[in-house]
Amino acid sequence: MSWSTFTGTVQDLAMANELVLAYSERRQALGQSAISPLSVGDNAQDKTLWLAMQNWLESNCTSFIDHVNGPLNPAKTDFLYFTKATWQTAAVLNVSEGDGESFRRKVNPGDDVSYGHLASGDYRGNTDIFEDLQKGLRA
């Protein structure tokens, strides 16, 4: 997804919208508003949506049932919900209490991977960003 706008003639728009749809569905499961899919001509370099997904995932992961260690708590009296750490582990993300540090990022294409929220100026063509969002949503 390295083009400046989504053209709709290449698979990048469809792949981006798979993430947007998954994000929107999980928001709605928690009674939050739906997110509109991306459209042809939208700015493919805009990081606002991807950053919102990262923030949302870390903030809301504890609202979902831990299907790896549960679904019930050890006493079998209630559902077992993810903690941030158990969600990160289940999603195979970086385990850290640091804000945004679940996610890989790169400032420049040749940089080593670091961790933190996607920021203005970051290299967004990096597939790690999208893989981490997929893993976070899948868990």
pLDDT in tens, 50-70: 999 999 999 999 999 999 999
Overall domain count for the chain: 1
Beta bridge mates, 72: 79
Give the CA angle between residues 75, 80, 84 to the nearest 5°. Answer: 135
Domain ranges, residue 123: 11-138
Cα distances (angstroms) measured from residue 25 to each of 30, 65, 77, 97: 9, 15, 28, 26
Mean of the per-residue pLDDT values of the chain: 89
Structural domain includes residue 93: yes
Domain assignment present for residue 3? The answer is: no
Q: Using the 8-state DSSP alphabet, how is residue 65 labeled?
A: B
Q: What does the pLDDT read at residue 18?
A: 93
Q: Report which listed range, 10-19, 21-30, 126-135, is most confident.
A: 21-30
Q: Is 4 part of any domain?
A: no
State mean pLDDT over 97-113. Answer: 90
Does residue 87 lie in a domain region? yes
CA 131 to centroid of chain Cα atoms: 8
For residue 42, name the pLDDT band (cuts at 50, 70, 90).
Answer: confident
Instruction: Please state whether beta strands 114-115 and 104-105 pair in parallel, antiparallel, or not at all (unpaired).
Output: antiparallel
* pTM higher than 0.95: no
